[in-house]
Structure 1
Amino acid sequence: MVTEQDNDIDDFFSTARVAGRDEAVELPTGGYTEYLYDLNAPVLAEWRGLGYEEFSEKKRSPHFVQELLDSWEELYQEPFVGITTDGTVWDGLYRLPDTAAPTDAGPVAAAEALLAGLSTDERERVAHSLGAAEWRAWSNPEFVIHRVGLRLEDLDAHKVEAALEVVRASLSAEGYERVREAMSLNGFLGALTELPTIMNDQSYWFALYGTPSAREPWGWQLFGHHVAVNFVTVGGRHVVAPVFLGAEPALSDSRPPLFEAREQVAIELAGSLTEAQRTKAVVYRSVLDPAMPEGRVHPADERHVAGAFRDNRVVPAEGLCGRDLTDRQRGLLRAIAEDFLLLLVGPQREATLADFDAHLDETWFSWYGATDGSQPFYFRIHSPVLLAELDHHAGVWLNNRLPARFHVHTTLRMPNGNDYGKAYLAEWEKRTGEG
């Protein structure tokens, strides 16, 4: 058991996670259990017994966290544009079907059942307009930044079940399982640290947007520690973006790694690159390459660029272009993209993949670190219609000061303005004269 850590920023974040280093970042020889704090260590003991509100108030108080929150608040207050490569939205990428099929009745029925079972006050708190700014208030830390909707752990069990039924009815079976697995791993972390009142499988906010309808646009949002899912249905298309899924640890004694299959396909793709391809695709030789420009590694986000409050980030294309991949490599790239889109039900996933396929020659694949899986790594798929990334992180509640593969963050975005289905909503309003 590890009992202490040299933390230079605050009790959780050390400068080691952002400092460039010439030596390789090696994977730990053992598993996550070698990086557990002693349960009596101050980094855990000072929070024990606190509820999420008390914890959040204390966690937000250090100067470092206040600066971080101020920067996120500035981003949150910006008018929505969308992630772009140069600050200019590529118009016309997202087209609704000419004839919209009615929305599947399952999610609508589940949402109506949830609303029917809530009190008047709860209905008022859970419901927002489709254009509400709260769509963009989601976050993934374990402490509360914005309160949006209802907190699951504050609800009666049958109301929690009703809220999760909306999620289940809207997603594919395998996608729902992945979301619930990430939520369960949060509960596992709470058990490991003996902090179940801070981290559990109901540490999440749930909200509805618009009026659930078989024909009119509407959506929902679920977010909290290591899980954020935004769902909207409009004009026959579903959008599940932004999505943030992660875990620390990303596995347990009874569960395989959360993204094991995705990582293996990514390593297969990276390992298949020729020397000429690798020269382009491998942007940095390690996840803490000193060649990275100042600020490229963020103390909270580390390498990922599309997390909370980064709705308008300018992300230049980098790496290897899809047109320079072989057919087999393009198939592997598509398989990774498909796994990121797993939350979508089958027909919607195929429609979104068709959009991805249409822009494969304009899609970029970038990699940081060794390509054989011997080191922690970061990769990004960046298409005009999809941005997906996976990043290995240093410890927060575990004591690994350097990135390890048992702390994983992933993000999914619809660049050029279709996060939260906003590009589809704009077209819907234009077609119908609503809005």
Structure 2
Amino acid sequence: MAFELMQESLSAKGLQLSKDIMKTDHTPAELNSRPDIFSEELYFFTIMGTPSLSEPWGWQIDGHHLVINYFVLGDQVVMSPVFMGGEPIITTSGKYEGNTLFQDEQNMGLQFMQTLNEEHRMKATLNNEKKHNNNQAEAFKDNLILEFEGLPMAEIPKNQQEILLDLIDQYISNMKEGHQEIKMEEIKKHIDQTWFAWVGSIEEDAVFYYRIHSPVVLIEFDHQGVVGVPNVERRGPTRNHIHTVVRTPNGNDYGKDLLKQHLESSHKN
């Protein structure tokens, strides 16, 4: 029943990705002989409120490398915050050998950076070296306020903006198609207020981090350090461990109490 609700809420692509992420958690259980801490079934499903045609409600799936928060009010939905990740990214042994995650998010991000001219790449680049994990908006960052950094999209040609929009849609298209179209229209209206930031190099085998940030969406992609794959000499960032985040920016995706904030700041005795 939980998967049926996810199927109604997500696109076919988004549902398959969610299931593949869960499958990936079986592999570190095999590699480390620790089914107690890694498992494709070690995920928790929560209904928030009472499902209704007119009143607000929602659902959440929560576990290692997959957290989706899905809010519903009538025919309106907000799918945020969303955390998706995986290690290993390409499974080479065991029950789910061949299972593969986030290749489009990785390759399309690198290709966009490679299309920029030198001036724009320099503006986008926060650091040429990727030495550690760079995600800013993961767990324990409730109502995060994050400054815009990197390259403003208002400075690049329309054809390159379209390439970035295709990359953004790779994340937004995990929603059901109609809601995905509505969200993408909102994002397109703010393309000139959208910023792209990068950490790392741009070689074909590079490890990197990128962030797409506008008034209406915050997306992060990060190659992470080794955690769940044993007997690996290099412990720094690797293409075999990826975290992605989709948030609603400016601190509005964890139910901030705006009235309380206003009263505390404007009506002090």
| Common topology (TM > 0.5) | yes
Percentage identity across paired residues of the two chains: 35
Task: Report matched runs for 1:21-420 at 5 Å.
Answer: 162-253=1-92, 254-255=97-98, 257-288=100-131, 302-398=133-229, 399=232, 400-419=234-253
Deviation of 1:256 after TM superposition, in Å, equals 5.3
Report SS of the residue matched to 1:357.
helix
Counterpart code for 1:386: V
C-alpha distance in 1 between matches for 2:39 and 2:199? 32
- Stretches of structure 1 that go unaligned for 5 or more consecutive residues are 1-161, 289-296, 427-435
C-alpha distance in 1 between matches for 2:99 and 2:25? 15
Counterpart code for 2:80: A
C-alpha distance in 2 between matches for 1:256 and 1:185? 7
More strand by share: 2
Deviation of 1:310 after TM superposition, in Å, equals 0.6
Counterpart code for 1:407: H
RMSD of equivalent CA atoms: 1.8
Aligned to 1:29: none
C-alpha distance in 2 between matches for 1:344 and 1:417? 21
Per-residue CA deviation, residues 173-212 of structure 1 (Å, 9 max, x unaligned), is 1101111110110112212222122211111111111101
Deviation of 1:171 after TM superposition, in Å, equals 1.2
Deviation of 1:268 after TM superposition, in Å, equals 1.0
Report SS of the residue matched to 2:68.
strand
Deviation of 1:255 after TM superposition, in Å, equals 2.9
C-alpha distance in 2 between matches for 1:256 and 1:324? 39
Per-residue CA deviation, residues 248-281 of structure 1 (Å, 9 max, x unaligned), is 1112134353110121111111001101101101
CA contact (8 A) 1:386 1:415 kept: yes
Counterpart code for 1:406: N
Counterpart code for 1:177: Q
Q: Size of the alignment, in residue pairs? A: 251
Per-residue CA deviation, residues 136-164 of structure 1 (Å, 9 max, x unaligned), is xxxxxxxxxxxxxxxxxxxxxxxxxx222
C-alpha distance in 2 between matches for 1:353 and 1:405? 28
Per-residue CA deviation, residues 282-314 of structure 1 (Å, 9 max, x unaligned), is 1100112xxxxxxxx6xxxx2101101212222
Aligned to 2:267: none
Report SS of the residue matched to 1:406.
strand
Deviation of 1:331 after TM superposition, in Å, equals 1.1
Deviation of 1:373 after TM superposition, in Å, equals 3.2
Moved more, 252-261 or 211-220: 252-261
C-alpha distance in 2 between matches for 1:357 and 1:312? 23
Deviation of 1:338 after TM superposition, in Å, equals 0.8
Per-residue CA deviation, residues 214-242 of structure 1 (Å, 9 max, x unaligned), is 22221011111111110011242211111
CA contact (8 A) 1:238 1:344 kept: no
Report SS of the residue matched to 2:206.
coil
C-alpha distance 235-418 of structure 1, shift in aligned 2 (>3 A) = farther
Counterpart code for 1:284: N
CA contact (8 A) 2:145 2:250 kept: no
Counterpart code for 1:202: E
Bigger radius of gyration, 1 or 2?
1
C-alpha distance in 1 between matches for 2:98 and 2:52? 37
CA contact (8 A) 2:145 2:251 kept: no
Report SS of the residue matched to 2:180.
helix
CA contact (8 A) 2:126 2:198 kept: yes
Higher relative contact order, chain-length normalized (CA < 8 Å, sep 6+):
1
